[in-house]
Structure 1
């Protein structure tokens, strides 16, 4: 029975991934797969370089979650060390998935190495995960209300647009802020005081999340056809819906699920091969390249530890 419970999440991920692959294949069956490769080759060098630059800014901004976390737990550590750990954590977690495990292990490894108390690292990890979902619910809720996209019938949801989701998400955010204002007492664990994040810090993480996903969406926007008949703001709404679906699915990196939603919600001016080509380029620029860079940094840090001056 225990083994069955452990297998259920894995089976769920496999089923979701299989459905997504089937949906993508169905959407592309009337096209020649070579058209995807041709689109990839036709993306201009200028747009590729801009996408790389925006990706760099995006990952630099992600360190804001951990910096705010250190303010919350009232610990001091070099900004460079926080930035190193945060970048490696997000670069690995975003691509490999299972962030609750991969990101947690990386933070315990490096923050512990640099003298941060394990209880405080645990509090920081809870803070980053909690505020990540707070940011997601806030941005998704706002976008869903301001730009209530009509959902394709193929997705088969009980509502025609994402408008109801906006009210649900923002209601959860409101409940969170009510709790953050009303809970004044702290909990002491192993001599360390654990407190609920202050509203001003939570608000800061929402701003970081909005900028973070705004830059991520811009990377994909730059890798799509330049004659896209949709403003960046309109495209951002589609991106957030697809991102939310990918995260909720628990599939590593939202792989397949994110692409399926983007294909179904794409504007009419973009063909399926163009969208898939842009998504492949996006996966390479925004996920694979940062992962490679993070692995190099990890290896360099390990080498420095073994060969001190």
Structure 2
């Protein structure tokens, strides 16, 4: 949904605001700390039991054709993601060339994957879009719609995987399969509710804490779902391509969905160790840990590090050529 700050807003209710938010800031560090501790414990336990010679041997056994296929799927995924900001371009009526916005999105995504959302997802977009003439409010709206697009697709794919029982948490996690299925159902309900609201809502604009939120039209919402669902499934295909035989694609996709949200919760740049710990815990019973870790390391190199090298060059090019430009299409 697009968010616009009105010219003048009524003063906030400080007491109500404090009462509403007071408990969460105190609880959040404890929750995040507990989750980070759980992931760290899993990682240390797995690293201690691994045969690192087996890992290196498995890495060397990866075929060039396998790496080439994974690289091709990586290009496709980053290309799909680069179109996320075009949702905001359409919704806000911006006049920036689509190719320029796609380049900014792709560069920001590569830095986001490796350095975290604060630097990649936010700082790079604000910097580059400001040089291209967008106001901070417009960048915020574009970024908000892009993030919404990303997590709508995750909710559908993750919800389906959880609901169908494709993710079986190990006993050490203390999570009952039925609880994960209930979570999957809730995620699907939220995604469907958003789509229904975009289709049928009569009132499409609300004032929420000093911001104007506008619900996208049906066509825009369908584009959001199509881009994001397709991208998450392609990312799963990248990881699946690098996996040894015997691991099914839906199971790999489910593990990826868990690791994605785990990386966000722990706030660890590039999800270092998080993806490996989660996938080893969920998939380690189907394939040797050394072989599995080799696939995960190859995935990190192909999907994270190689695009970062290209993004650095693209960023320097953008900095060199970017000049303030008219950001809004006055012709409508």
Write the distance in 1 (CA, Å) between the matches of 2:182 and 2:122: 33
Point out the more displaced range, 39-48 or 17-26: 17-26
Check whether the contact 2:81–2:106 (CA below 8 A) recurs between aligned residues.
yes
CA 1:72–1:174 in 2, change beyond 3 Å: closer, same or farther?
same
Counterparts of residues 60-71 of structure 1 (less than 5 Å):
60-71=79-90
Q: Give 2:161's aligned residue.
A: 143
- 1:274 matches 2:287: no
Please state how far the C-alpha of 1:167 moved relative to its aligned partner: 1.0
Q: Give 1:263's aligned residue.
A: 280
Q: 1:200 aligns with which of 198, 219, 224?
A: 219
CA 1:292–1:279 in 2, change beyond 3 Å: closer, same or farther?
same
- 1:220 matches 2:239: yes
Q: TM-score, normalised by structure 2?
A: 0.78
Q: Give 1:170's aligned residue.
A: 188
Check whether the contact 1:65–1:128 (CA below 8 A) recurs between aligned residues.
yes
Alpha-carbon deviations, 1:247-276, whole Å to 9, x = none? 333332333222212111116441111111
Please state how far the C-alpha of 1:10 moved relative to its aligned partner: 7.7
Write the distance in 2 (CA, Å) between the matches of 1:21 and 1:249: 10
CA 1:269–1:144 in 2, change beyond 3 Å: closer, same or farther?
closer
Check whether the contact 1:152–1:264 (CA below 8 A) recurs between aligned residues.
yes
Counterparts of residues 34-73 of structure 1 (less than 5 Å):
34-73=53-92
CA 1:206–1:147 in 2, change beyond 3 Å: closer, same or farther?
farther
- 1:103 matches 2:143: no
Write the distance in 1 (CA, Å) between the matches of 2:25 and 2:313: 33
Check whether the contact 1:55–1:219 (CA below 8 A) recurs between aligned residues.
yes
Write the distance in 1 (CA, Å) between the matches of 2:316 and 2:61: 35
The alignment partner of 2:89 has SS state of helix
Alignment: residue pair count? 296
Please state how far the C-alpha of 1:12 moved relative to its aligned partner: 6.8
Please state how far the C-alpha of 1:161 moved relative to its aligned partner: 6.0
The alignment partner of 1:157 has SS state of coil
Point out the more displaced range, 290-299 or 114-123: 114-123
Check whether the contact 1:149–1:161 (CA below 8 A) recurs between aligned residues.
no
Please state how far the C-alpha of 1:172 moved relative to its aligned partner: 2.0
CA 1:82–1:25 in 2, change beyond 3 Å: closer, same or farther?
same
**Uncovered stretches (5+) of structure 1, i.e. residues with no partner:** none
Write the distance in 2 (CA, Å) between the matches of 1:183 and 1:89: 35
Q: Give 2:330's aligned residue.
A: none
Check whether the contact 2:74–2:302 (CA below 8 A) recurs between aligned residues.
yes
Write the distance in 1 (CA, Å) between the matches of 2:281 and 2:127: 41
The alignment partner of 1:197 has SS state of coil
CA 1:92–1:11 in 2, change beyond 3 Å: closer, same or farther?
farther
Check whether the contact 1:54–1:215 (CA below 8 A) recurs between aligned residues.
yes
Check whether the contact 2:263–2:275 (CA below 8 A) recurs between aligned residues.
yes
Alpha-carbon deviations, 1:13-46, whole Å to 9, x = none? 6765554343233234344212111111111111
- 1:29 matches 2:48: yes
Write the distance in 2 (CA, Å) between the matches of 1:161 and 1:187: 34
Please state how far the C-alpha of 1:128 moved relative to its aligned partner: 1.2
**Uncovered stretches (5+) of structure 2, i.e. residues with no partner:** 1-23, 324-332
Check whether the contact 1:147–1:237 (CA below 8 A) recurs between aligned residues.
no
**What is the RMSD computed on CA atoms of the aligned residues?**
2.9
CA 1:209–1:37 in 2, change beyond 3 Å: closer, same or farther?
same
